[in-house]
Amino acid sequence: MRRSLRSTRSCLGGTLLAIAAARLAKERPDCLRSVTLLAAQTDFTEAGELTLFINESQVAFLEDMMWERGVLDTAQMAGAFQILRSNDLIWSRAVRDYLLGEREPLSDLMSWNADATRMPYRMHSEYLRKLFLNNDLAEGRYSVEGQPVALSDLHAPMFVVGTQRDHVAPWRSTHKIHFLAADADITYVLTSGGHNAGIVAPPAEEGHTYQIMTKKADGAYVGPDEWIKLAPQQVGSWWKEWVSFLENHSGEAVAPPIMGGVRQKAASLKDAPGDYVLQR
């Protein structure tokens, strides 16, 4: 373990992390040593295929449904993403499983996809209206507790990953962080695969490729079309690049406390989750 505070989030979690990190940057500038965003959008002007389902009337309809239960049901959320890739997630499975009787073996990624999330009413409504429809975050209108949030306040080194076949967060959309956080060192990675498989790319698996390039805080902005021509092509998993990035932006290594075992050591631990999560 390293003495540092690093923050990593994927997809919508990455959007929320960018908001929190920008707000923290004004109050505690040295709070975060680095920020990692995985397939996460901060500008929604090129949000991809989801724009087919999100407009004012659709958001109002969803809000009416969520008002009754307080959440958006998992089946409704999962169904929207299945429709986006219906050939892969609906029809190919129907043909293979039902017509041909060829059951595909279970995998870790399939289990992950099946673990759907119920979205809380207020959180989902604000996300769809303020971020997706109105693009308030990128355009400087988003506020937290009455205070405006500006992504230009992000100065901590950033590691940002986009995926080539992402149908949820298109890589050109995730690339916009270069423009929004112009005063931060940004290491951007474009990896093969889609929204999930491109992120879950362990080194032991073959077939992965990626491109990577770092823009310094004082460097010129490079648009996505030029970036993809300039960034070197690499074979393998981008995870190794991430490990190197984290090591370069961390403090001295410290060992986590022993959990259990000797009674005296266990007695000295604080209540869950313990001090070690703060990495002091």
Residues annotated catalytic, as ranges: 11
Contact 132, 54 (CB under 8 A): yes
Place of tokens 């310094």: 216
The C-alpha atoms of residue 244 and residue 241 are separated, in whole angstroms, by 5
The C-alpha atoms of residue 197 and residue 209 are separated, in whole angstroms, by 12
Place of tokens 């003495």: 3
User: Cα-Cα-Cα-Cα dihedral of 153, 227, 131, 165, to 10°?
Assistant: -140
Output helix, strand, coil percentages for the chain, rounded to the nearest 5. Answer: 40, 15, 45
The C-alpha atoms of residue 182 and residue 176 are separated, in whole angstroms, by 10
Contact 84, 167 (CB under 8 A): yes
- The residue among 122, 118, 12, 123 whose CA lies nearest residue 73 is 118
Q: What is the DSSP letter of 220?
A: P
